């Protein structure tokens, strides 16, 4: 049986902690701006200093994604991206860098594709796990059984509205790390990440030994430094996607832009001692 890279993910997050810094976790959708271009962008982000990358599985109804990621998903879907392309993206990004790569996806595509097939293929591709923002924990047993069998992390999302009892239920079922949404609403850059995120991290840590990584709204080194002061990982997505959109079809310029942003953010997550 092929097993995934949940151990690599854990080791990577532990290494960042040992270096007294937060991990930098980047998000980019597969197939954006093309399948090959998306793979190149992920390699560039790793080259710039990202520790982990989440590969988005583009979906036609991305209810939790803001306009920037929706635009990228639309480009990928119009380009004909398939789950096979997502798996290829994971494989090539991981094999080229040796770093942990996860998939972030809504539940419906997995349900249609087949849980066993999806987890087996993700493990074979060298994936570290899956972030499932809309899968209720109470309905996740079958998924977790297959993910565990194939050595894949199951990362659930917690929000500021999550009560302490609910946090305990979610963190008990998850693995790899906990994805803490810094605020209520959809993805996208924000002027400020806010105090809600710090409080959510504190409450989540009280229920779990897993690293707590914060996403939604971080777009620059200043914000990354702020979040790194209280979280184990800083997750950035829309800002990377926007850099590629701003390149307006110039792939080389887009790659330079995301590499430079990753380098800036990688400096930001190094906490001031």
Catalytic machinery residues: 54, 65
| Alpha-carbon torsion angle 257, 258, 261, 266, nearest 10 | -150
Contact between residue 191 and residue 223 where contact means Cβ atoms under 8 Å apart: no
> Cis peptide leading into 33, omega within 30 of 0?
yes
Contact between residue 97 and residue 66 where contact means Cβ atoms under 8 Å apart: no
Q: Which residue from 52, 30, 51 is spatially nearest to 41, judged by alpha carbons? A: 30
Beta bridge partners of 185: none
Residue 70 is inside which H or E element, if any?
A: helix 67-78
Contact between residue 51 and residue 16 where contact means Cβ atoms under 8 Å apart: yes
Q: Which residue from 241, 246, 228 is spatially nearest to 55, judged by alpha carbons? A: 241
What three-state secondary structure class fits 231?
coil
* 233-236 vs 212-215, strand pairing mode: parallel
Could you please report the per-residue DSSP string of 155-221?
E-EE-TT--HHHHHHHHHH--S-EEEESSSS-S---S---HHHHHHHHHHHTT-SS-EEEESS--SH
């Amino acid at each position: 049986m092929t097993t995934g890279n949940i151990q690599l993910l854990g080791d990577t997050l532990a290494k960042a902690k040992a270096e007294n810094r937060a991990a930098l976790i980047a998000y980019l959708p597969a197939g954006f701006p093309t399948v090959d271009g998306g793979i190149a962008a992920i390699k560039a982000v790793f080259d710039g200093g990202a520790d982990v990358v989440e590969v988005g599985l583009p979906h036609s109804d991305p209810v939790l994604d803001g306009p920037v990621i929706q635009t990228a998903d639309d480009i990928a879907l119009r380009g004909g991206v398939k789950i096979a392309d997502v798996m290829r993206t994971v494989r090539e990004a991981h094999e080229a860098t040796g770093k942990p790569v996860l998939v972030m996806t809504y539940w419906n595509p997995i349900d249609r594709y087949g849980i066993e097939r999806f987890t087996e293929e993700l493990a074979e591709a060298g994936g570290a796990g899956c972030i499932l923002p809309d899968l209720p924990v109470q309905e996740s047993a079958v998924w977790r059984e297959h993910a565990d069998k194939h050595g894949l992390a199951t990362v659930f999302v917690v929000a500021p509205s999550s009560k302490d009892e609910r946090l305990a239920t979610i963190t008990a079922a998850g693995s790899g790390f906990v994805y803490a949404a810094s605020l209520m609403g959809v993805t996208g850059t924000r002027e400020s990440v806010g105090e809600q995120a710090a409080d959510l991290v504190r409450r989540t840590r009280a229920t779990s030994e897993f690293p707590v990584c914060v996403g939604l709204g971080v777009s620059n080194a200043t914000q990354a430094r702020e979040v790194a002061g209280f979280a184990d990982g800083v997750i950035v997505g829309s800002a990377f996607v926007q850099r590629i959109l701003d390149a307006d079809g110039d792939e080389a310029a887009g790659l330079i832009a995301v590499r430079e942003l990753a380098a800036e953010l990688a400096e930001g997550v190094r906490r001031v001692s």
